[in-house]
Structure formats: C-alpha cells, structure tokens
C-alpha cells in the first residue's frame, strides 16, 4: 500500500482553544485508524509550557496514548526513533520563529520530514499550522509580519486566526500584495487536511468557520472561500 503523507493544520481551535469542543481533535485521531493512537505533543513554540502539556495530557488521555517532546529540558535522546514511533505528531501554538530555530538546532525539522514521508500524521494549531508551509503570517516578532523560512512540507504561505484576530486578514492581504507566496487562511475552528502537498478536505468545529485560498491575480489580492465541512450536527 502507498504511504499517505498527511498534515492537518488548524487555524485555531482544538483542545487548547475549544476544550469543550473536540471535533477537530477527534477528526485528527480518526485518521490514525486505531482505537488508541500514539499522539506526541510538541510544545516548542510555547517554550515547553508545563500548563500546555498538562492540558494536552488531560484532553487526550482517555482516547489515545499521549506523550510529549520537550526540547528546552530535553526528555528524549533519540529524536528520530521517538518521532517515527508515533501515529500522530501534534504541534502546539506560540512563537513559530523560535520554534523553527530550536527545531533546526536539535534536528527536529529533519526528523519530522522523515516521519511525514513514512506516514506519521502531522498537525497543529496556530504556530503548529504555520510551521509546515514555506512562509506564514506571524506575531513572533511583535507586530504581524511575514516569515519566509518555514519547513516547506506544504507549498505557499499560511495565515491562522483569520477571523479571530482583526488584523490578520488585512495583514495577510498586504503581505501577499508585497510578494509573499499565495497560500491559505483558516478561521478559528477551521482546519485543512492535506494529503501529500494538496488539500484533501477542509473541516470545521464551528458552523461559520471557513478556509480560504488567497492569491495575487493581476495586482489584486483575491480571496476564495473553499468548501468547508462542519463536523458537528447542524441545527434546524
């Protein structure tokens, strides 16, 4: 059987933002096709926040085999073996610029690329969305700014929190007009499931949450909504 290379990116939501709404996290867990998949949380972007790690453990303990990878006080010797043994690797939010620098110092970037190539499901929220693309919109430096040197597993650029922070949408439009690659934006509560480097499905934990493709066409930034499936039960 061909190996599926899968990444699920959340513009916002999941256990850290919607603790009473597990729809997006459940979607990711189902992809592993196991009763209790092995899920590794990578909290680098938050400086390995213990509070964040504990929230992850509480959220996943009843439905998975959770673990975490700490790098500020490193808890794993053989990073490659540890990450390749997972079914799912879930990257938390925080500072994506710091995350990328620390990952590259420890060789996590290379281990994650290999894990993806071997079929481990990758994903994450906010910084954990941005890191997989060639570039992104980030507040890592204070004001929103473009960051051009992501891991590049996914093509183009990314913008999370598209509806959750009022400056995100206009900033992303400005940066694309100024020359960063075209890309995708996701509202809080929306997720994009990539198979290989192509979008397979867009899903949401909120009825109104949406995913967009954002491009520069003949000098004008064009925002195109993509079909986004609400994972809950529609009312009415």
Which positions ≥6 away from 224 have C-beta within 8 Å?
212, 213, 214, 215
Q: Tell me how far apart the alpha carbons of residues 235 and 94 are, in angstroms, rounded to a whole number.
A: 34
Q: Tell me how far apart the alpha carbons of residues 224 and 184 are, in angstroms, rounded to a whole number.
A: 9
Which positions ≥6 away from 13 have C-beta within 8 Å?
21, 24, 125, 188, 189, 190, 191, 205, 206, 209
Mark 101-132 as b/e (b = at least 16 C-beta within 10 Å).
Answer: ebbeebebbebbeebbeeebbbbbbbbbbbbb
User: Is residue 161 annotated as part of the catalytic site, yes or no?
Assistant: yes
Q: Which of 16, 67, 157, 161 is catalytic?
A: 161
User: Is residue 126 annotated as part of the catalytic site, yes or no?
Assistant: yes
Q: Which of 126, 140, 204, 205 is catalytic?
A: 126
Taking alpha carbons only, the member of 119, 202, 219 closest to residue 162 is 202
Residues acting as catalytic residues: 126, 161
């Amino acid at each position: 059987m061909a190996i599926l290379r899968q990444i699920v990116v959340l513009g916002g939501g999941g256990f850290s933002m919607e603790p009473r709404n597990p729809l997006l996290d459940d979607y990711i867990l189902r992809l592993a096709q196991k009763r209790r998949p092995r899920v590794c949380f990578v909290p680098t972007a938050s400086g390995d926040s213990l509070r964040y790690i504990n929230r992850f453990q509480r959220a996943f303990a009843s439905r998975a085999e959770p673990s975490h990878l700490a790098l500020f006080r490193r808890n794993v010797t053989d990073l490659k073996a540890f990450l390749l043994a997972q079914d799912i690797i879930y990257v938390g939010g925080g500072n994506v610029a710091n995350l990328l620098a620390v990952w590259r110092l420890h060789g996590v970037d290379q281990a994650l690329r290999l894990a993806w190539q071997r079929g481990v499901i990758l994903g994450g929220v906010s910084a954990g969305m941005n890191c997989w693309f060639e570039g992104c919109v980030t507040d890592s430096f204070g004001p929103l700014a473009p960051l051009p040197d992501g891991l590049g597993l996914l093509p183009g650029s990314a913008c999370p929190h598209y509806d959750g922070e009022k400056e995100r949408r206009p900033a992303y439009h400005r940066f694309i007009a100024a020359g960063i690659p075209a890309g995708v934006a996701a509202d809080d509560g929306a997720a994009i499931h990539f198979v290989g480097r192509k979008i397979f499905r867009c899903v949401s934990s909120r009825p109104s949450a949406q995913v967009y493709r954002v491009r520069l066409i003949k000098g004008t930034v064009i925002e195109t909504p993509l079909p986004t499936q609400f994972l809950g039960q529609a009312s009415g």
